[in-house]
Chains A and B, each alone.
Chain A
Amino acid sequence: MFQSPVMFAGKVHWLGWENLDFVLTLDLGKDVSAREISWSTLSDQRSWILHPEKVACAVSADGGAYREIGASPAAGDHRGEEPIRVFPEEQSSVCGLTGGFSCCTLKNRVNDRWRVSMNESDAEEDLAFVRRIIEESRKILIDNGLNYILWGILIALGLIFVYFKDVRQWPLRSDLFWLGWGIFGTVLTIWIGRKTRAGLRASSFSGRMLKTLWAAAAISMVLIGFFGFLTEAIRVWAFPAVFSIILGLAYFLCALLYDRAWIRLLAVAWWLGGVAMFFWKSPETLLLFGAMMAAFQVVPGIALYLRYGKERTAETDD
């Protein structure tokens, strides 16, 4: 239709050619780094406008000797074409010498081969990009805090119950009570786990380590509680102190996984509470342990849960 380039008026401007190959030469004035080279073509068969048969990209250091660095053939018979195509469909296929090198400066012929240089600032930019992405993915939620809340409440209520049971001498064995209470908590944990798993779209090593850590801590406490009580190797008032020390250890490692300093402070609080209970040697240690559960387990659990909700909203908004 057109013997020479024509600029169409409208929202988007297009150039049209007929019977001519279009060659666009860009004189950049100096060596530059280019990450991507792309262009769009239009197809509107009713107006006899078709995509090009081939799009190629060539570079030159002196404006004389050009070397093709890539080409995107537009295969097909033009039927059912998208109205607008972007070439190349995969950026790196054109921009790179061997199919994937998109951040490059192409310059200077050396021994009949193109020497490719990578700009220092490009490398820094790429490294910063990688660091940002890794940092973001590292922060991907590893826990929603619900188990902290659940077990904190269950244990605190259990401790209050056992304290009053012992003080008022209700005819119920503590070990059987804790066994039943523990099974109830485990069932609830599994149920919550199944419910929340459906919403997770990524899993992290940190998440798995966290689960393993808490499973190990729970097993340790159950073994100490069961066999310590059965063999009477540990005095009843000492159990909360021992459990506090184990929880301190668990929270200290958690701080590493969550990368949160305030969780490390929780570990210190558990350790200090444990030491205090060793010296106290009284049935009231059960109540102190219950209060610590509320303060150092339920409250942090709520904080983690709120953070989880906030980050999920941020993910959706992205």
Chain B
Amino acid sequence: MIDFNYQNIDHLIHSRVRLAVVAVLVGLEEAEFTFLREKVKATDGNLSANLKRLEEVGYLASRKEMRGRKTRTLYRLTEKGMAAFEAYVRGLEKLIGK
């Protein structure tokens, strides 16, 4: 086991659901809530809470769009979120000596 300073880990991303959300959005411009729910395999409530948390810290940005009579919410990763994700992955790679 390698000692690791937990302060180097971004706690906001480290949660499995939030990590999955950020990883999905890394390769996309934006994605709908339902799309994220399928990819992350989370319940509506759980995903909503985690998306809200990521938005609060500025890692995600959202916008609402009307499509026909329905409103859909689209999420995208912000530059801050991208930087945090990259730092998180670098931290993991450092830990396993890559």
Contacts and interface: CB of A to CB of B under 8 A. Distances in A.
Given A96-B11, A127-B92, A203 B2 contact: no
B16 A35 contact: yes
A90 B11 CA distance: 13
Given A120-B95, A133-B24, A137-B28, A102 B6 contact: no
Interface residues of B, number: 43
Interface of B: 1-6, 9-16, 18-20, 23-32, 34-35, 38-39, 41, 49-50, 53, 67-68, 72, 89, 92-93, 95-96
B11 A201 contact: no
Interface string A240-281: 000000000000000000000000000000000000000000
Q: Name the interface size band of chain A.
A: 35 or more
A117 B15 contact: no
A203 B95 contact: no
Interface string A79-105: 000000000011110001111111111
Given A133-B23, A137-B23, A140-B28, A97 B6 contact: yes
B28 A126 contact: no
A202 B95 contact: no
Interface string A24-58: 00000001000100000000000000000000000
Nearest to B33: A201
A118 B49 CA distance: 25
Interface string A99-128: 111111100000000011111100110110
A137 to B, nearest CB: 4
28 contacts: A89-B49, A90-B15, A90-B50, A92-B11, A97-B6, A100-B10, A100-B14, A100-B18, A101-B14, A102-B14, A103-B14, A116-B6, A117-B3, A118-B9, A119-B1, A120-B1, A127-B92, A129-B16, A129-B19, A129-B23, A133-B39, A137-B25, A198-B68, A201-B31, A202-B31, A205-B27, A205-B29, A318-B39
